[in-house]
Structure 1
Amino acid sequence: MRRPLWMLWLSWLAWLLLGPAQADTPFDPFAAAGIEQKPGAQVPLELRFVDVDGNRVTLGDVLGDRPVILAPVYYRCPNVCGAQLASLFNLLSALSLELGKDYEVVAFSIDPRETPADAEAERAKLRTRWPQLVDSPHVHFLSEVVPATRPEPNPSHPAAGHRLAEAVGFNYSWDPEIGEFAHASAIATLSPDGRLVRWLYGLGYQPDDMRLALVDAGEGRVGSLGDQLLLLCYHYDPRTGGYDNLVIGALQVGGIGTTLLLGGFIGVTLWLERRKREGGA
């Protein structure tokens, strides 16, 4: 029996409306990755990890009483994570602040399948250039206490790394097509009690940016008096993840204002002299 024409039209309309919704949406790495600004957010200090030597620790155990550089990575990342850590330690080697005295470094894996062996493999690469920094007890490479055995990460069962990333606004997602994580390249600074202070983006941040971020996170307990005063002259821009010099901006504005006032004064003086000459004539 042939179906009535109106039923064919209804079926076609239903396919138009429901077909695209049922199709798989292409993975968009730009929508899946990024930094959500959460200044002052408290990280969960009770989160449990295992360090590179196989010791079980909580996040609170490794924070201590100093500002923290927090690096969300995954150790088997084929792309930017290795370069991000190398860039970080290269910068720290030239930093005037002292590791262990002024700050701690915590790298943690966002991949729940990774183990201390993966962390050690990454540490071994970094050790070839920065052994004194990398092997310091104040540098921590963390992974999951119980690594996942699943072939792919399961976002419905958040691990400690995922919860920490979520707390500081580090958004990322697993791309099953290529078997990699889509994530941003950024590091954060935390206050000694574990509150988010600043993000530094990419690989191109400068030593001054890092020093000021740590001084800012240290709440007056890190850096020299000059560093503290310098913070008054700089303004953190969360869009760029760096510090803008307010003094230069103020001088520019002041220079423009001075020029306008001087121009106005000269103009009024010339006008008064012309009126005087015209009146005398």
Structure 2
Amino acid sequence: MIRPALWLCILLLAPGLAGAVEGKLVSPFAAAGIDDHLGKHLPLDAPFTDQHGAAVTLRQYSGKRPMVVVPVYFTCPNVCSAQLANLFMLLAALDYRPGRDYELVAFSFKPEETPADAVAQLNALARRWPELANNPAVHFLVGPEASSAGLARAMGFRYRLDPQLGEYAHTSAIAAVTADGTLARWLYGLGYQASDLRLALTEAGQGKVGSLGDQLLLLCFHYDPRTGAYDNLVIKALQVGGVLTSLLLGGGIAIAVMRERRRATG
């Protein structure tokens, strides 16, 4: 039989436990992430508005060059500004150029944002990278929730509004998309390198972006979808070869020592 004191404890704790479970189920941070949608075709005809106030779709930027597509929101108080600054810094370090080798599309998944918010973000980036920020192949888009949510969903990009903070929980990542609108690669976080970005654009370019050397370089690297980065196959092969060589040498030495001991005791 349950004692009255124990019943009282259960009754007092039950609302808190239920709230904790309920909070876990609806936690915006638990809902944020990226699903594996590589190879999926993106909705290119969803309506957006660019930083100039013009009605646009992604189809206008597709067809000739791969796209770098970045899900963000321009008034984000946390990581979005750092994410875009990191991207611009790495793009500026490449000899690939927007309009010639790729199109850059950053779209807001916050439906309340306006072209003025996009312009404010671009102006901030223009202080350090004016040539890139003012390039006509750089597009900062806002739009209705149906457009941004549909595009994010097709990309596998999950985010959730935190009603208490009034801000969105989301991950930081950029995507390389082929000219026909197929999601090719994700680069996660802020830790990817210029070499990762170059390889992602080269691969998404499907032979139309980069030199022959860039194409051949892809043979030496393998994209790992779990980490969103490229592993050097040559270095890995050398490492494996080094381990095997060490094992063979160690085994040969052990056999030679055993033979010498047998001779000495024989």
TM-score (norm 2): 0.86
Change (3 A) 1:260 1:21: closer
Specify the code of the residue in structure 2 equivalent to 1:164: L
* Aligned equivalents of 1:182, 1:270: Cα separation in 2: 62
Give the structure 1 partner of residue 122 of structure 2.
123
Q: CA contact under 8 A between 1:62 and 1:140: conserved in structure 2?
A: no
* Aligned equivalents of 1:128, 1:269: Cα separation in 2: 68
* Aligned equivalents of 2:259, 2:31: Cα separation in 1: 66
Matched, 1:140 2:124: no
Task: Find the partner of 2:165 among 150, 162, 178.
Answer: 178
Matched, 1:100 2:110: no
Q: CA contact under 8 A between 2:29 and 2:160: conserved in structure 1?
A: no
Matched, 1:222 2:248: no
SS of alignment partner, residue 214 of structure 2: helix
* Aligned equivalents of 2:164, 2:251: Cα separation in 1: 66
RMSD over equivalenced CA pairs, Å = 2.7
Give the structure 2 partner of residue 66 of structure 1.
65
SS of alignment partner, residue 69 of structure 2: strand
SS of alignment partner, residue 68 of structure 2: strand
Give the structure 2 partner of residue 204 of structure 1.
191
* Aligned equivalents of 1:255, 1:112: Cα separation in 2: 54
Tell me the matched-pair count: 255
SS of alignment partner, residue 260 of structure 1: helix
Q: Deviation string for 1:149-200 (max 9, x for gaps)?
A: xxxxxxxxx5201110110011000111000000101111101111111111
Matched, 1:25 2:12: no
SS of alignment partner, residue 60 of structure 2: helix
Q: Percent identity?
A: 57
* Aligned equivalents of 1:210, 1:40: Cα separation in 2: 18
Q: CA contact under 8 A between 2:76 and 2:167: conserved in structure 1?
A: yes
Q: CA contact under 8 A between 1:116 and 1:142: conserved in structure 2?
A: yes
Give the structure 1 partner of residue 147 of structure 2.
160
Greater per-residue helix proportion: 2
Specify the code of the residue in structure 2 equivalent to 1:245: N
Q: By how many angstroms is 1:101 displaced? A: 1.2
* Aligned equivalents of 2:259, 2:224: Cα separation in 1: 47
SS of alignment partner, residue 162 of structure 1: helix
Change (3 A) 1:255 1:93: same
* Aligned equivalents of 2:219, 2:135: Cα separation in 1: 32
Give the structure 2 partner of residue 5 of structure 1.
none
* Aligned equivalents of 1:127, 1:20: Cα separation in 2: 49
Q: By how many angstroms is 1:246 displaced? A: 1.3
Give the structure 2 partner of residue 151 of structure 1.
none
Q: Which moved more, 1:97-106 or 1:19-28?
A: 19-28
TM-score (norm 1): 0.82
Q: By how many angstroms is 1:64 displaced? A: 3.8
SS of alignment partner, residue 93 of structure 1: helix
Give the structure 1 partner of residue 55 of structure 2.
56
Q: CA contact under 8 A between 1:67 and 1:217: conserved in structure 2?
A: yes
Specify the code of the residue in structure 1 equivalent to 2:152: A
Q: By how many angstroms is 1:274 displaced? A: 7.7
* Aligned equivalents of 1:76, 1:21: Cα separation in 2: 31
* Aligned equivalents of 2:208, 2:70: Cα separation in 1: 22
* Aligned equivalents of 1:110, 1:160: Cα separation in 2: 9
Q: CA contact under 8 A between 2:107 and 2:140: conserved in structure 1?
A: yes
Matched, 1:187 2:186: no
Q: By how many angstroms is 1:120 displaced? A: 1.0
Change (3 A) 1:131 1:260: same
Q: Deviation string for 1:91-116 (max 9, x for gaps)?
A: 11111212211111000000111111
Change (3 A) 1:254 1:22: closer
Q: Deviation string for 1:243-264 (max 9, x for gaps)?
A: 1111111111111222333344
Q: By how many angstroms is 1:82 displaced? A: 1.0
* Structure 1, gaps ≥5 residues long: 1-8, 148-157
SS of alignment partner, residue 142 of structure 2: strand
Give the structure 2 partner of residue 84 of structure 1.
83
Change (3 A) 1:260 1:99: same
